[in-house]
Amino acid sequence: MKDRFFLGIDGGGTKTLTTIADESGRIVSAFRSGPSNFQSVGIERAYKELRIGITKALKIARLTKGDIAFGGFGISSADRDKDFDIILSILNDILPDTPKVLVNDTTIALRAGTKDCVGVALISGTGTNCIGFNKDRKMVRIGGLGPLTGDYGAGSDIAMAAYHAAFRYNDGRGKYTILYDIIKKHFNVIDIEDLIELTYYDSADYYQLNTITPYVFIAAKKNDKIAKEILIDCAKALSYAALTCLRQLFKTDEKVFIAFGGSVFIRQPRSIMTDYIKNKILKRYPKARFVVLRTEPVIGALLLAYDGYYGDFRANRLKPTLIKTLKQRISTIN
């Protein structure tokens, strides 16, 4: 019999990670391509990055499309039914004969952080999202559609609030914050107003602006009042999203897992922000348990692929091998 191989993809607003694993849980290939969130980069770019990722991963593993038994896809733009239709049309064009499951990338974070994908995943990274499932497989999503709909608490929100505070101090509207000096030093500018050039059409490097986010946590640890206020404001929005989701899925006396995912939580697992969120949730759900996702969420996509093929959660036993060999594979990616 031919060996079975499973495909897992985590497609987001900054990168797409494509992985292939065998039946034993050994990662046989991994490839990082560009962003595949069609809402932010367009359908054509999303298609291109997904196709590149799949093609390269198959080539690395010396496999063909026909060798893939099942595919698990967590894509950050999979929000509404219309979005699912667009993404599935892309995936079905690239892999027409491969059985597959498509979910929002927040769901794969929950699958990676729990044994049965029951609980709530709270994301703070490029964007924010909150998705939960109960034992009856009822799903609730809170937010995740972007700033227009009230999402708040992402790395970009933290960074932008820091710039607002620095510029307000610069022109006299606000009080001093060490973020003012940190930002100027980070970007090596004498006049903070020179940062405006990063927003010009010919530059449009907003991701470079987001590199200031970790320094807000540093400033908060140095007891900077404004930095602490920024992080608390984000924590309030995120904890409210989580509680809204929990309220629709779980009773207050139930034991429930909350999985923190996204670059902000992964890099700052213990902070004034996570402490606030935990305390807010525990007041209402005293049996809540928290886990910070310390592995790539694509593990959740692979687990969903195994789940889809075998029909249960037996792939949990493969998780340690998947995580170990994924770390080895990722270390070879430039």
- Give the residue extent of every domain in the chain: 5-107+295-330
3-state secondary structure 241-273: HHHHHHHHHCCCCCCEEEEEECHHHHHCCCCHH
CA dist 331 → 4, 27, 50, 60, 328 (Å): 25, 13, 21, 15, 5
Gap between the Cα atoms of 132 and 141, Å rounded: 7
- Residue of 7, 10, 11, 49 whose CA lies nearest to 28: 7
Predicted confidence at residue 126, as pLDDT, reads 81
Longest alpha-carbon distance in the chain: 73
- Residue of 316, 283, 302, 320 whose CA lies nearest to 116: 316
Bridge partners (DSSP) listed for residue 70: 6
Quick one: residue 16, left, alpha or beta (phi over 0 = left, psi -120 to 50 = alpha)? beta
3-state secondary structure 110-157: HHHHCCCCCEEEEEECCCEEEEEECCCCCEEEECCCCHHHCCCCCHHH
pLDDT in 10s for each residue of the chain, 334 residues: 468 999 999 998 889 999 999 999 999 999 999 999 999 899 999 999 999 999 999 999 999 999 999 999 999 989 999 999 999 999 999 999 999 999 999 999 999 999 999 999 999 988 899 999 999 999 999 998 888 889 999 999 999 999 999 999 999 999 999 999 999 999 999 999 999 888 776 765 656 888 999 999 999 999 999 999 999 999 999 999 999 999 999 999 999 999 999 889 989 989 999 999 999 999 999 999 999 988 889 999 999 999 999 988 888 999 999 999 998 888 777 5
Predicted confidence at residue 179, as pLDDT, reads 97
Predicted confidence at residue 207, as pLDDT, reads 66
Q: Show Cβ contacts of residue 200 under 8 Å, excluding neighbours closer than 6 positions.
A: none
Gap between the Cα atoms of 241 and 39, Å rounded: 22
Per-residue pLDDT of 178-226, as tens digits, reads 999 999 999 999 999 999 888 776 765 656 888 999 999 999 999 999 9
Q: How many Cβ atoms are within 10 Å of 135's Cβ, its own excluded? A: 10
Using the Cα atoms of residue 172, residue 178, residue 179 and residue 185 in order, give the sign of their dihedral.
positive
Q: Show Cβ contacts of residue 324 under 8 Å, excluding neighbours closer than 6 positions.
A: none
Predicted confidence at residue 203, as pLDDT, reads 66
Query: Which class does domain 5-107+295-330 fall in?
Result: alpha beta
Predicted confidence at residue 117, as pLDDT, reads 94
CA dihedral 79, 84, 90, 91 (to 10 degrees): 100
Q: Check: CB of residue 108 under 8 Å from CB of residue 301.
A: yes
Q: How many Cβ atoms are within 10 Å of 83's Cβ, its own excluded? A: 18
Predicted confidence at residue 204, as pLDDT, reads 57
Predicted confidence at residue 295, as pLDDT, reads 86
